[in-house]
Amino acid sequence: MSHPAPAGVRRALERALAQGRDRAVLARDSRRGEGLVPPRFGPDVVRSLFVDRGRVGLSAAELPVAAAIAGLYYAVALGSALATRTGPERRFRL
């Protein structure tokens, strides 16, 4: 599913946290043995950054910044998934 870009850093972090939580719940409830990280995660992110960058108008000079933002987003999502897996009853606010 595709969503519009979040409006600001706070919304991006909220989305990353929600994505991680959702991934952990999906992995827990899956009968197919879903993991916390989707199977094609690495190749999909690389393709999105390098191959599809022209579609969104991303120049080669902007690529390192985009990669850093994507890395931070997915690190927060993975942290959220791990936190959900270890303590699903805990809640926190941004």
pLDDT band for 39, please (50, 70, 90 cuts): low
Q: Once rounded to an integer, what is the mean pLDDT over residues 24-30?
A: 80
- Domain holding 77, by residue range, is 9-86
Tell whether 68 is covered by a domain: yes
pTM comes to 0.75
Residue 90 DSSP class: -
- What pLDDT, on the 0 to 100 scale, is given for residue 91? 66
What does the buried/exposed string (b/e) look like for 73-93 if buried means 16 or more CB atoms within 10 Å of the residue's CB? bbebbbebbebbbeeeeeeee
In this prediction, residue 2 carries a pLDDT of 61
Question: Rounded to an integer, what distance in angstroms lies between the CA atom of residue 32 and that of residue 45?
Answer: 23
Q: Which residue has the higher pLDDT, 35 or 81?
A: 81
| Residue 69 is assigned to a structural domain of this protein | yes
User: Which amino acid is residue 85, in one-letter code?
Assistant: R
pLDDT in tens, 41-91: 778 888 888 888 888 788 889 988 988 988 898 889 888 888 888 876 666
Q: Is residue 17 part of a domain?
A: yes
- What's the number of domains the chain is made of? 1
* Residue 55 region by backbone torsions, left for phi larger than 0, else alpha for psi between -120 and 50, else beta: alpha
